[in-house]
Every structure is written in structure tokens, then in C-alpha cells.
């Protein structure tokens, strides 16, 4: 281990945590629940100044990771956001930045990356349709006509879709996938805002009615985006798993502290053997969730041939475990755990949402089996 590098990453983690505790405490999350998009644009720009949006962009594009392992560095931010059930389009914006940096033309990068990196603009990634999250389920069509590309179809569950300035749309051209960067207010685009179980995370449905864009709006080659879409999905799943790990970590902290303060029959409830066993089981699940997520992040950074399997192992395990884990903490907190005033329901809402977005654990396990050839 490079100890100097470890110190740098620790410093980055501490700065991220302090920023969130100071500028986006849980009380602020409750306030943002009453706003249209669930995030303060000025706050997002300050977050971008800390480097949250530059980790997954190449240095030549104005980005650069802290350690040379961009996904592992981004996981630090995702975990800290989870600890504070933080707002903001961290995941979709970074997925789009990663895609643009890896496959966008010089013109697209010049037009869009500066704003995304400085936080003055945001992006959404439109993958899912009514049929599901798998790239094979995509039915939205991207038709090439001369020097234009024409989009027709509908996207569902687009995170930050009603607030984003641009949307990276995954569509089908022949037998392959095409990614097109579309301004949200472009003619022919209809945005239907929605809400979710989470207090500050918003989703939208997007319709594309013969939306005509210049061919330069395509990221990569028409019909050649299958590999890029798969890697972006792996990145999104890893960041989402890391956020859920952060949720679990923080919930365990305040639940265990409560168990030390709560007395029953003259002694703290944390001293009872039956509850000690439950806590030990929870710690095992928490550390296992951390380990599977770390393995997925390393595999992405190292382009491990097993990355697809490792990412879906993490998504399946963490997706199920985080919800069960937090529900167990609700039981340990007793009656106060089911009140609006206690923060634990905010964490359970986010974990429940994360279990469903980008595919349920059952779907990830099915993908693991398919990839194993069983």
C-alpha cells in the first residue's frame, strides 16, 4: 500500500464528509424535500469545486482522479453521500461525464464538459424503459438520416431527468446501441416529472417524438455503443452500491450509540447477549457489503475480465442487504424508529430506492448465472 496516497485519499474523504455535514446536514435534506428538484444548484457547484465531477474525466479533458484509480476515488464520495442521504445528481452526471470523456467527439467535449465539470450544468442518463434496465431491453430508436440522427421512443425512471440540462439517451440502431446527447429542452422532447420514495431524489419520464439532432450529437459510433453502455452500467451500479454501504455505515453508528444510551432493567440494552448476537451479524453484513463493493470498484479501475460478474455480485448483495440491515436497525431503535422525526426512515427510503434502480437483486443474480454459463 502506498501510505502517502492513502493519506491523500483519507484527506479527500474527510473534506467530503465535513462539506456534507456543514452544507447538507440531514435537516437540510428535509428542507429540500419541499423544493421542485430536491437540490440547490449553488450547492452543487460548490460540491463540484471539491472535485466530485472531475474524478471520471481524463486529464486532457479537464478532469483527473486523486489516486489514478478514478472509480475507487468516486466511491469515496458516493459512500459519504450515503452517510448523509445527500442530494444532487452525482451518479447520473458522473456517468455522462465518463461517457463523454471516453467516447465523445472533440466538439461535444468542448461544448459540454466544462459546464459539467464546474457544476454549472448537470446531466442525466436515460437507459431504462418500461421493460427494465438491461441494455437488451432498449427499444427507443436512433435512426441515422444523412447528417442527422432521429430519436423516437420513451425512457422511464430517468434520475434528475426534469432538472438536467442534457440527457445522454441510450437508443437502438439496427442490432447495436447508440448514445445521443440531447438538450432537455430540445423540440420534440417531452419531460414528465415524477417523484420517488426518497425525499430528494427525483425521476422523470422522457418522450422523444421524431427528435432531430445533428449527427455530431452521437457519443461514439451509431450502433457501436454496446460496450460503452455496459461499462457505464457497471460504473453506475458500483457507485450506487457504495452509496448504500454509506447508508448502512451511518445507520449502524447511530443505532449502536442509541443502544448504549437506552437502559432497560437498569442496564444498557447493548449489554444483552441476544442483542449482541444481532449486532455481530449486522457487522458481518456491513463488512461484506464493503468488501464486495470495493472489489467491484477495483475491477473497474483495473479492467478485470471478471468485472461484469463482480459488479453484479456487489449490486445483488448490497441491494438486498442494505434494506434488511436498516430494517433491523429500526427494530433495535424501538418505537422511535418508526417516527417521522427520527432520521432512519430517510436512510431506509434511499436504500429501498437503490435496491430497485438499475435493476433488482434478482435480476443481477440472473445475470451472474448467465455469465457463469450455468
Tell me which of 83, 118, 153 is where a domain ends.
118
Looking at the fold, whether 196 and 178 belong to one and the same domain comes out as yes
Q: Could you tell me if 257 and 320 lie in one domain? A: yes
Residue 101 near residue 109 (C-beta atoms within 8 A): yes
The pTM score is: 0.95
Same domain, 353 and 326: yes
β partners of residue 192: 205
> Distance (Å, rounded) from C-alpha 139 to C-alpha 129?
8
pLDDT in tens, 88-111: 999 999 999 999 999 999 999 999
Residue ending a domain, among 72, 100, 118, is: 118
Give me the pLDDT at residue 3, please: 41
Q: How many angstroms separate the Cα of 72 from the Cα of each of 77, 78, 86, 179, 277?
A: 9, 10, 19, 25, 32
Same domain flag for 108 and 136: no
Q: What is the mean predicted confidence (pLDDT) over 216-225?
A: 96
- Residues 9, 105, single domain; the answer is yes
Nearest to 154 by CA among 119, 124, 189: 189
Residue 231: what pLDDT? 97
User: Are 110 and 181 contained in the same domain?
Assistant: no
Query: What's the whole-number mean pLDDT along residues 234-241?
Result: 98
- 28 and 10 share a domain? yes
Looking at the structure, tell me whether residues 203 and 236 fall in a common domain: no
Note whether 230 and 367 are same-domain residues: yes
For residue 136, the domain's CATH number is 2.40.110.10
Residues 171 and 258 in one domain: no
Residue 278 above 70 pLDDT?
Answer: yes
Q: Could you report the per-residue pLDDT of 149-203, keeping only the tens digit for each?
A: 999 999 999 999 999 999 999 999 999 999 999 999 999 999 999 989 999 999 9
Residues 133 and 88 in one domain: no
The Cα 357–Cα 124 span in angstroms is 14
Give the model's pLDDT for residue 374. Answer: 61
Count the domains in the chain.
3
The CATH number assigned to the domain holding 25 equals 1.10.540.10
Domain that holds residue 170: 123-219
Residue 2 has a pLDDT of 42
CATH number of the domain at 314, please: 1.20.140.10
Say yes or no: 57 and 77 in one domain.
yes
Place of cell 472531475: 54
pLDDT tier at 6, thresholds 50, 70, 90: confident
First to last CA, the chain: 37
Query: Which carries the bigger pLDDT value, residue 169 or residue 131?
Result: 169
Final residue in a domain of this structure, among 219, 236, 263: 219
Q: What is the dihedral of CA 48, 49, 52, 55, to 10 degrees?
A: 120
Amino acid at each position: 500500500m502506498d501510505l502517502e496516497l492513502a493519506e491523500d485519499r483519507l484527506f479527500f474523504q474527510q473534506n467530503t464528509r465535513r462539506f456534507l455535514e456543514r452544507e447538507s446536514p440531514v435537516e437540510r435534506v428535509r428542507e429540500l424535500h419541499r423544493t421542485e428538484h430536491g437540490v440547490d444548484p449553488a450547492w452543487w457547484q460548490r460540491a463540484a469545486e471539491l472535485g466530485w465531477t472531475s474524478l471520471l474525466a481524463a486529464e486532457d479533458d479537464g478532469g483527473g482522479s486523486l489516486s489514478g484509480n478514478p472509480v475507487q476515488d468516486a466511491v469515496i464520495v458516493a459512500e459519504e453521500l450515503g452517510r448523509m442521504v445527500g442530494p444532487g445528481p452525482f451518479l447520473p452526471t458522473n456517468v455522462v461525464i465518463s461517457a463523454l470523456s471516453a467516447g465523445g467527439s472533440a466538439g461535444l467535449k468542448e461544448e459540454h464538459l466544462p459546464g459539467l465539470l464546474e457544476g454549472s450544468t448537470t446531466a442525466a442518463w436515460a437507459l431504462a424503459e418500461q421493460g427494465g434496465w438491461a441494455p437488451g431491453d432498449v427499444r427507443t430508436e436512433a435512426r441515422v438520416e444523412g447528417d442527422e440522427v432521429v430519436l423516437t421512443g420513451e425512457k422511464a425512471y430517468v434520475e434528475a431527468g426534469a432538472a438536467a440540462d442534457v440527457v445522454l439517451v441510450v437508443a437502438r440502431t439496427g442490432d447495436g446501441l447508440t448514445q445521443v446527447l440531447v438538450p432537455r429542452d430540445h423540440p420534440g422532447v417531452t419531460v414528465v416529472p415524477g417523484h420517488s420514495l426518497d425525499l430528494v431524489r427525483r425521476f422523470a419520464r422522457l418522450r422523444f417524438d421524431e427528435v432531430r439532432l445533428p449527427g455530431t450529437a452521437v457519443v461514439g459510433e451509431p450502433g457501436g455503443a454496446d460496450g460503452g453502455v455496459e461499462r457505464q452500467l457497471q460504473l453506475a451500479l458500483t457507485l450506487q452500491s457504495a452509496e448504500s454501504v454509506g447508508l448502512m455505515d451511518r445507520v449502524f453508528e447511530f443505532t449502536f450509540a442509541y443502544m448504549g444510551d437506552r437502559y432497560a432493567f437498569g442496564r444498557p440494552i447493548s449489554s444483552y447477549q441476544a442483542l449482541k448476537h444481532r449486532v455481530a451479524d449486522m457487522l458481518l453484513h456491513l463488512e461484506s457489503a464493503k468488501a464486495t463493493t470495493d472489489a467491484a470498484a477495483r475491477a473497474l479501475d483495473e479492467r478485470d475480465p471478471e468485472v461484469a460478474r463482480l459488479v453484479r455480485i456487489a449490486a445483488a448483495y448490497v441491494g438486498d442487504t442494505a434494506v434488511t440491515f436498516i430494517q433491523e436497525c429500526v427494530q433495535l431503535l424501538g418505537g422511535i424508529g418508526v417516527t417521522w422525526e427520527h432520521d432512519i426512515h430517510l436512510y431506509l427510503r434511499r436504500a429501498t430506492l437503490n435496491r430497485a434502480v438499475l435493476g433488482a437483486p434478482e435480476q443481477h443474480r440472473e445475470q451472474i448465472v448467465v455469465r457463469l454459463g450455468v
